[in-house]
Amino acid sequence: MTKFSRIVSFQWMQIGVIVLVGVTVRWSVSLNAYSGAGKPPMFGDYEAQRHWMEITTNLAIDQWYENGTDNDLLYWGLDYPPLTAYHSWICGKVSSFLNPDWVELYASRGYESYEHKLFMRYSVLVVDLLLYIPAVLLLCWVDSSKRMLSFDWLMVAMVILLYPGLIVIDHGHFQYNNASLGFCLLAIIAVTTGHDLWGSISFVLALNYKQMELYHAMPFFCYLLGKCFRSSDENGLWKLIKIGVIVIASFIICWLPFLTTVETILQVVHRLFPFARGLYEDKVANFWCSIEPILRTKEKFSQDIILKIALVSTVGALLPSSLHLLYKPTVRSFRLALVNSSLAFFLFSFQVHEKSILLVALPVCMMLQDRPFASTWFLLISTLSMFPLLVKDGQALSTSALCLLFLLASRTLLDSQKLKQHIAVRIIFWLSILGMSVLCAFHLVIPPPPKYPDLYPLFISAYSCAHFLVFFAYCQYLQFTTTDDEKVRGPTDETFRNTKTKRKVHKKD
């Protein structure tokens, strides 16, 4: 066996260990409770996902988004795009095959059993194994400067796979965020390595799985448009046309069963964008929720006015990084724009959920290799910002343990030189984590005043929001001061050539 073959074999063994650790951590979290367990009449997100399997399995496709005698939209009506519905249908068919009682129309509402919990937990893990984990490994491999001859990318992959926010929401609270985020990761990899058409298809799949992927839409649009405009040959316009055609065709294919009438299309769109719910529902760590106790926005303005204010604020926060990316479509600017765009939406847009911070966390995870200190800080705060929600699910202990594990993995596995910061910054970091930990401890141990039952969730939200605003300014600064001189096509062309050369050298050995 050659030296190169031994290196490759050892690396595959390391990949196996990383995947095993990631799966073990996820499964450990899944042994705990889930959203709405034993809490009728609506239960929680676990029941929502199960109910969608029930609806898609038993009703005709044209009834999935329609209110009717067999589909009460007030009881967890389907409000995600068609790809989520198709996924629910597949899971529902498997569920029906294993035990028809799990998806029996009407009778299965609020169904809870050990066997069904196993099935639901496995269904999330399968998406991780087939989509999200491979996407993370591929991303880190592509990012590695020395490819198969360097083990640094494996360490970064391990830290990303241990990000507690996604684990505790998908495998604890119970959702399938790993599906849309996995498609988005594949799209990012594709467009930054010059495979724009495949990247466009993958992002359409992400957007058609969860409409919140709109948080990432503007950077994709500006990056691809900027690449076409700045193309060194005369094929820029033709490339833009091809991307437009492939995007439209992909949307048509995803929506084809619902393109029967205008009323059907409008009903699906209405379900996807529920503006009637208001500015926000639960306590979320964004700008509007944080200022509400002081400005009383909901009391002073009508919902139409609030919607317009949120729209103007979001566009204003989104435009600078988007225009910069359009002018300078480099890979580094694109990734920073993904952070800035998603944070702009999370902080200022209308009807934001606390779990939407995961859409910001995804591009921040991609910063772990270059800026591990700031990224680790943000990812910890992003997880702790969801703490009040996770307490309701009985996930307080697992969340705390995951945060400690993630912090330990980050400080142990990532580049120690890049983790070194000025002593003042390190002190602020530990004070920040201490402050969040104290707030969470108070939330668990000390009952709030009867007059202010939401006191601790509001404090946690405002505290997290302050961190997010600072990080937003920091990433804006990074994007506008970048000295990136990468080619428009991406940073990997030279790397591929170097990899091939090194492989030839090792083959001779």
**Higher per-residue confidence, 168 vs 1:** 168
Q: Does some domain include residue 463?
A: yes
Alpha-helix runs per DSSP H in 259-302:
262-272, 287-295, 297-300
Question: In degrees, to the nearest 5, what angle opens at C-alpha 165 toward C-alphas 171 and 46?
Answer: 35
φ and ψ at residue 44, rounded to 5 degrees: -160, -155
Tell me the average pLDDT across 264-291. 84
Question: Across 8-12, 150-154, 372-376, which has the greatest mean pLDDT?
Answer: 372-376
Per-residue pLDDT, 1: 58
Cα-based distances in Å from 161 to 133, 148, 151, 165: 7, 20, 16, 10
DSSP 8-class letter at 448: P
Is residue 107 a part of any domain in this protein? no
For residue 6, is pLDDT > 90?
Answer: no
pLDDT over 80 (residue 231)? no
- Is pLDDT above 90 for 506? no
Q: How far is it, in rounded angstroms, from Cα 362 to Cα 375?
A: 11
pLDDT in tens, 461-497: 999 999 999 999 999 999 999 765 444 444 443 443 4
Q: What is the pLDDT of residue 150?
A: 56
Per the domain annotation, does 62 fall within a domain?
no
pLDDT tens column, 65-116: 999 889 999 999 999 999 999 999 999 999 999 999 999 999 999 999 999 9
Residue 493 lies in a domain: yes
| Amino acid type, 138 | L
Residue 33 has pLDDT above 60, yes or no: yes
**What is the pLDDT, as a whole number, of residue 232?**
65
Average pLDDT over residues 175-203: 96
Report whether pLDDT(350) > 80: yes
- Mean pLDDT value across the chain: 89
Judge whether 333 lies within some domain. yes
> According to the model, what pLDDT value does residue 234 have?
63
Expressed in angstroms, the distance from the first to the final Cα of the chain is 10
Is the pLDDT score of 186 beyond 80?
A: yes
194 three-class SS: coil
Top-confidence residue, 389 or 233? 389
Q: Which of 96-105, 297-306, 500-509 has the lowest mean pLDDT?
A: 500-509
In a domain, 37, yes or no: no
322-334 residue pLDDT tens:
999 999 999 999 9
Each residue's pLDDT tens digit, 102-158: 999 999 999 999 999 999 999 999 999 999 999 999 999 988 854 444 558 889 999
Q: Is residue 80 part of a domain?
A: no
pLDDT at residue 278, rounded to an integer: 67
Separation of alpha carbons 251 and 206, rounded Å: 11
Nearest by Cα to 233 from 506, 491, 489: 489
In a domain, 73, yes or no: no
pLDDT for residue 497? 41
Please state which of the ranges 130-144, 230-244, 367-381, 451-465 shows the lowest mean pLDDT.
230-244
Q: Count how many domains the chain has.
A: 1
30 pLDDT exceeds 60? Answer: yes
State residue 292's pLDDT score.
85
Burial of 352 (0-12, 13-18, 19+ CB in 10 A): buried
Over residues 405-411, the mean pLDDT reads: 95
Q: What percent of the chain has pLDDT over 70?
A: 90
- Measured CA to CA, the distance from residue 274 to residue 270 in angstroms comes to 6
Query: Residue 21: is its pLDDT beyond 60?
Result: yes
Which residue segment(s) compose the domain that 445 sits in?
Answer: 3-31+113-508
> Is the pLDDT reported for residue 8 higher than 90?
no
Q: What is the pLDDT of residue 509?
A: 41
At residue 300 the predicted structure's pLDDT band, cuts being 50, 70 and 90, is confident
